[in-house]
Structure 1
Amino acid sequence: MIRRPRRTLPATIVGLMLFVAAVVVVISCAQLITGGPPLVAFGTLGELGRTTTWNDARVLAAGGILSSVGLALLACGLLPGRPQVLALAPGDDHTAAGISRRSLARDLTSHARRADGITGARVRVGARTVTVNARTPLRDRSGLPDLVRALVIERLDDINLARPARLRVTVTSDRSA
């Protein structure tokens, strides 16, 4: 069970570019109809198109830039995103289940905060790595990373992810202390 995010950024970028181009054309046409000077002079554009050659440096540069942007947007649209739901190990009845990254991060954060001497924690859940950054007001932090690691490992064992995650624990001094 892997739910991936929609690729709305490429669609939004292309949609906004087309919308801006359409608005500019509509404004120019309306100005021509009313007898005013157009925002974009179509005659000038036609003359520019007639006199410009394919081997002109501006045409090649614009083509290269537009091709690069197009390929980047195409890659964003085709490549899969980061999974939003992590699979859990199948149970005895072989049902598929999963947990969202946010839910897992919140759950592990609450367990990391339960350690004595820890005032705050932030958990980031990656594809194969769980990173815990805990804060403490204590000057002597010895033993705290192991305590936080034990609590988080215990919770990860209870959750039973399909792919075991590597765990990184860092304990830093609380700035407010």
Structure 2
Amino acid sequence: MKRRPRRSIPATLTALVLLAACVLVAVVAVQMLLGEPPWIRYDSVAGTLHELRWNDLATAVVGGVAVLLGLILLLAAVLPGRLTVLPLQGELDSGASRRSYRSTLRAAAATVDGVSSATVKLKSRKVSAKVTTGRATTDGLAEAVRGAITHRLDQIDPALRPAVKVKVRSARSTS
């Protein structure tokens, strides 16, 4: 089971821009039908656009911005995002959410004796854990945390086994 994120932010922004343009056109059309002065006069817009030339700087800048926005939206639609559900081994098509995966690995790191706090970051092929301890000496703590995380990964049994990297920070100095 591999679920990819929805592209809701680019779609929402595009929809809001198009909605604003449609509302503006509709309001101006209604104002013109009622005989009131419109917010944007068609004659002034048409005159300004008629005076522009293809080799003007303003035309090139607006065209470049439009092409850039189009490419960004195209890439957002085509390129896959980070997995939101990470696949697990087994006969069933199963997975774990990224959030629960991270929190269970953080809980495993926090159960090690001497660890006061732990943070875990998931990357595509690596789990990075940063733990803080109140101990003055941190000898063997990184290996213990790595062992606890590895044991929890054995229990979870992910389809793609990540490498485990642990950094230990001591709250107290050794001097």
Q: TM-score, normalised by structure 2?
A: 0.89
Match of 1:138 in 2: 135
Q: 2:124 aligns with which of 127, 132, 136?
A: 127
Instruction: Verify: 1:115 aligned to 2:118, yes or no.
Output: no
Match of 1:70 in 2: 70
Aligned residue runs from structure 1 range 13-162, under 5 A: 13-33=13-33, 35-90=35-90, 94-162=91-159
Shift of 1:127: 1.7
Residues 41/174 of structure 1: CA separation in 2 closer, same or farther (3 Å cut): farther
Q: Give CA deviations for 1:74-127 in whole Å, capped at 9, x if unaligned.
A: 11011111111222222xxx3332222111111111111111111111112222
Q: What is the DSSP-based 3-state SS (H/G/I as helix, E as strand, rest coil) of the residue aligned with 1:95?
A: coil
Q: Give CA deviations for 1:31-56 in whole Å, capped at 9, x if unaligned.
A: 44555543222110011122222222
Residues 37/139 of structure 1: CA separation in 2 closer, same or farther (3 Å cut): farther
Work out the CA distance in 1 between the residues paired with 2:35 and 2:134: 73
Q: What is the DSSP-based 3-state SS (H/G/I as helix, E as strand, rest coil) of the residue aligned with 1:139?
A: coil
Match of 1:170 in 2: 167
Indicate the percent of aligned positions where both proteins have the same amino acid.
35
Residues 166/26 of structure 1: CA separation in 2 closer, same or farther (3 Å cut): same
Q: What is the DSSP-based 3-state SS (H/G/I as helix, E as strand, rest coil) of the residue aligned with 1:119?
A: strand
Instruction: Output the amino acid matched with 2:125.
Output: R
Query: Following TM superposition, where does structure 1 have runs of at least 4 consecutive aligned residues deviating by more than 6 angstroms?
Result: none
Instruction: Output the amino acid matched with 2:16.
Output: L
Unaligned runs of 5+ in 1: none
Q: CA RMSD in A?
A: 1.8
Work out the CA distance in 2 between the residues paired with 1:110 and 1:71: 41
Given that 1:113 and 1:119 are in contact with CA atoms closer than 8 Å, whether structure 2 keeps it comes out as yes
Work out the CA distance in 1 between the residues paired with 2:81 and 2:21: 29
Unaligned runs of 5+ in 2: none
Work out the CA distance in 2 between the residues paired with 1:137 and 1:30: 70
Q: Which moved more, 1:160-169 or 1:16-25?
A: 16-25
